[in-house]
Amino acid sequence: MSPLDPPSATDALHDRRTAIAALGADLRALVEAAVRTGAPDEVLLLAAKEAQHLTALLTVRPRGRAEVPEVDVFPGGIRMYSPVTGAGSPLAPPLQIETVDDGAVVGTCTLGVAHEGPPGYGHGGVSALLLDEVMGWACSYAGQPGMTIELNLSYKRPVVLETPLRVTARVTERHGRTNLVHGTIATTAAPRTVLVEAEAVFFAPAPDQARALFPSLRDPA
């Protein structure tokens, strides 16, 4: 089962997610084209007008800042607009979450030029983004969805763009509501060569605290 399209989805929900993902894919292609283009100035200005038209088209019944989208399962499930995993997000690579049998969570993605830091390599903040997300999923899979309270990174080698990446995370220790998590980024071609390593502390809020933090959470228990 893919956590990004659970079998419980109704046809309408599936159709909505499919449409959101279609728009997300084209927006990502647009973002990548926009940051790589060598088109002349007049073409950029024409594209800007077209982008304004698209923005107007989509500004219909916008959801509230803290509202959980109807297409999402929160916490611990599909997030269509996540800047990391969201198929509907132009910011997301997007990263696909998978689990493996021994308790580690594995995510795969490929970064584009839009995610560049040093020329040809991924931005260090983007590596942190990928790790934070997959480490968060490791907590959810360990039964304690939580928020990052500390994240330490060691950048060992640059992360190459346009190369399939493998992001792994595993809960190593639990102390009450606090989980220590270890994470890595490698390429899928050389999974043992660690490019970035992370240690993090996640905190799983108690039900009352979760209700206060996330008012639209239906059943924090």
| 118 burial type by CB count under 10 A (0-12 exposed, 13-18 middle, 19+ buried) | exposed
CB of 219 to ligand 3VV, least distance (A): 9
Sequence-separated (6 or more) residues with CB below 8 Å from residue 187: 160, 163, 164, 165, 166, 193, 195
Q: How many CB atoms are closer than 10 A to CB 41?
A: 7
Q: How far is CA 135 from CA 121, 122, 145, 196, 216, in A?
A: 22, 19, 10, 13, 23
- Here's the x/- map for ligand 3VV, 90-119, by CB under 6 A: it reads as ------------------------------
121 vs 137, beta carbon nearer ligand 3VV: 137
Candidates 149, 173, 191, 193; binder of ligand 3VV (CB under 6 A) is 149
Give the C-alpha separation, 55 to 51, whole Å. Answer: 6
Please give the residues from 159 up to 178 whose contact with ligand 3VV meets the rule CB under 6 A.
Answer: 176-178
Site string for ligand 3VV, 60-79 (x = CB under 6 A): ---------------x----
Q: Which of 108, 110, 148, 187 touches ligand 3VV by CB under 6 A?
A: 148
List interacting residues with ligand 3VV (CB under 6 A). 75, 132-133, 136-137, 140, 145-150, 176-178, 201, 203, 205, 207, 209-210, 220
